């Protein structure tokens, strides 16, 4: 059955345009003037889309599709606190967390900004005490190590930001534990002194299996060395489940609240970012929020034709739905951004990996792409072969940083040159080689994002750019980008196996139990 979207005038117009331009090659369009012309910039973030096979007519038709799908209306509803997460009956207000003024933002008639500011002030006071050494552990020693215990959005965002902006140089040093596998937490604990370690347990519900498993392991390790009374000096939590946190033994004064309108993959801007603030300092965390807020303002006010998230989203729709690409490579040409592809995997695939619309109807078009990636130049010696000569022309996002902050131009220039060379080679190809195996078809699209420098402000802008891009695509595809029901069934079945109380006494559990037995059995 044809869906309302694929039967719509804007969709049909793009289908016809794609048919009319099927033989178009970006090599016939790409020249020096185009590289300098097809650019949108905002406060030191620049988006160059010259290597896409789009003309002015293509862009006009893509913007018409965005308007037909009411992107502006959905954007305004999200920013105003409407409950656009219809399946969970929740507002979506990660943007309020980084708002720079105190303009009211209402949820169910209540202004949420005073609560946000109160939590931010509580975070600031605590961060100052820990970083200054005023906060002492149970033995009187200052804190030298922070261990963030979370998973998914409670781990990927804070981990990526700390890695990008401080790495192993943060003081105190920040570590991250997410995997239920003991090989994640135990070697890390073995290298720490309990008296100098603070654990930040991040779980909105405080019921996440992997997080509680690791939190209990950390608690046992700490109390074995320092006793039960030490927990209040060495554990804090970001959670909405106050009672469960108290039952764990964490002092209520050390709980940093979350709200149900903060989705996990959008939560690093909230108290989930406590480990970021502890590692970088609160001033740097505020700059991260300010950069995201700048992108929010641009998204809220710029015309669709000049709106960075909208343009980026619609280029993705062009590739995903009218070129049948199915995947997107994320290629940061900066080692500090090596965790960005993993962060964007969750942001994009957990948001838009859906096959039914907001109202439960099956889709007859592709939604979210498969996201994969790695740092350049490492990726060039890994999977770029597929990008250059695979049967599908997969799009790629190249992310570069203009500033050479280490003062090592031979390295920095090599990275930037390689990024430029890859973009050119993907777009233009080399179809003239005599040997078929050596031919490059070219016509492989890419987006180039350049940051003037990698600092909290510009990183905040970059992350908000991707957040809004994913949202716009969800609106175009008529799906709810803010729930994640697909992750729940496996979690429920794992819980049933552990507890011995089946959730569903049916074939699913029987098969899963068989796999569980087979995995755990010893084989000769």
Q: Enumerate residues 6+ apart whose C-beta is below 8 A from 504.
A: 492, 493, 496
Instruction: Name the region of 102 (left: φ>0; alpha: ψ -120 to 50; beta: rest).
Output: alpha
349 close to 370: Cβ distance less than 8 angstroms: yes
| Nearest-angstrom CA–CA distance, 34 and 39 | 9
E strand spans, 311-416: 327-332, 370-373, 396-401
DSSP 16: H
CA atoms lying within 13 Å on the CB side of residue 31: 3
Give the residue numbers annotated as catalytic, written as ranges: 350, 381, 491
CB count within 10 Å of CB 467 equals 25
* Angle at the Cα of 383 from the Cα atoms of 429 and 395, rounded to 5 degrees: 55
* Nearest-5° Cα angle at 44, 159 to 47: 85
Helices and strands: H and E segment counts in the chain: 21, 13
If we measure between CA atoms, which residue out of 305, 308, 316, 306 comes closest to residue 445? 316
Spatial distance between the Cα atoms of 100 and 292, rounded to a whole number of angstroms = 10
Instruction: Identify which of 488, 67, 495, 474 has the alpha carbon closest to the alpha carbon of residue 266.
Output: 474
What is the number of alpha carbons within 13 Å of residue 520 lying toward its C-beta? 8
**CA 69 to chain CA centroid, nearest Å:** 24
Under 8 Å between Cβ of 469 and 369: no
Edge to edge, what strands does the sheet with 370-373 contain?
A: 39-42, 45-48, 446-451, 396-401, 327-332, 370-373
H or E element in which residue 148 lies? strand 145-149
Q: Cα 290 from chain centroid? A: 18
Given the structure tokens 């695979």, which residue do they identify? 390
């Amino acid at each position: 059955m044809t869906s309302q979207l694929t039967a719509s005038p804007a969709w049909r117009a793009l289908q016809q345009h794609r048919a009319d331009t099927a033989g178009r090659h970006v090599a016939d369009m790409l020249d020096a003037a185009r590289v300098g012309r097809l650019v949108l910039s905002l406060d030191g973030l620049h988006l160059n889309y010259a290597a896409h096979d789009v003309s002015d007519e293509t862009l006009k038709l893509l913007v018409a599709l965005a308007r037909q799908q009411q992107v502006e209306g959905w954007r305004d509803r999200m920013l105003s606190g409407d409950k656009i997460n219809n399946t969970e009956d929740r507002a979506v207000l990660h943007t309020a967390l980084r708002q720079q003024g105190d303009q009211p933002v209402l949820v169910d008639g209540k202004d949420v900004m005073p609560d946000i500011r109160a939590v931010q002030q509580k975070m600031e006071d605590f961060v100052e005490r820990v970083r200054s050494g005023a906060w002492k552990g149970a033995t009187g020693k200052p804190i030298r190590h922070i261990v963030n215990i979370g998973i998914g959005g409670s781990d990927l965002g804070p981990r990526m930001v700390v890695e990008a902006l401080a790495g192993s140089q943060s003081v105190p040093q920040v570590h991250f534990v997410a995997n239920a596998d003991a090989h994640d937490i135990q070697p890390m604990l073995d290298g720490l002194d309990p008296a100098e370690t603070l654990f930040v347990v991040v779980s909105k519900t405080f019921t996440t299996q992997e997080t509680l498993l690791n939190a209990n392991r950390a608690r046992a390790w700490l109390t074995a060395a320092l006793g039960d009374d030490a927990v209040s000096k060495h554990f804090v939590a970001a959670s909405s489940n106050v009672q469960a946190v108290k039952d764990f033994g964490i002092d209520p004064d050390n709980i940093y609240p979350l709200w149900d309108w903060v989705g996990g993959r959008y939560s690093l801007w909230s108290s989930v970012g406590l480990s970021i603030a502890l590692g970088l300092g609160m001033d740097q965390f505020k700059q991260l929020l300010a950069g995201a807020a700048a992108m929010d303002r641009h998204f809220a006010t710029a015309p669709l034709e000049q709106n960075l998230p909208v343009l980026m989203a619609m280029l993705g729709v062009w590739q995903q739905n009218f070129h049948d690409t199915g995947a997107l490579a994320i290629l940061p040409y900066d080692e500090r951004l090596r965790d960005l592809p993993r962060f964007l995997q969750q942001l994009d695939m957990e948001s838009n990996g859906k096959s039914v619309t907001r109202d439960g109807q099956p889709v007859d078009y592709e939604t979210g792409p498969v996201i994969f990636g790695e740092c350049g130049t490492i990726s060039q010696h890994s999977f770029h072969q597929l990008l250059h000569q695979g049967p599908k022309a997969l799009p790629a996002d190249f992310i570069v940083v203009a500033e050479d902050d280490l003062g090592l131009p031979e390295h920095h220039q090599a990275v930037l040159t390689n990024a430029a060379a890859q973009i050119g080679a993907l777009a233009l190809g080399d179809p003239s080689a005599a040997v078929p195996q050596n031919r490059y078809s070219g016509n492989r699209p890419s987006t180039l994002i350049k940051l003037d420098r990698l600092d909290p402000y510009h990183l905040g802008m970059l992350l908000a750019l991707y957040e809004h891009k994913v949202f716009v695509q969800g609106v175009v595809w008529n799906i709810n980008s803010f729930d994640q029901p697909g992750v729940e069934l496996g979690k429920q079945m794992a819980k049933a196996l552990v507890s011995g109380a089946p959730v569903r006494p049916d074939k699913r559990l029987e098969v899963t139990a068989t796999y569980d037995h087979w995995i755990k059995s010893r084989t000769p």
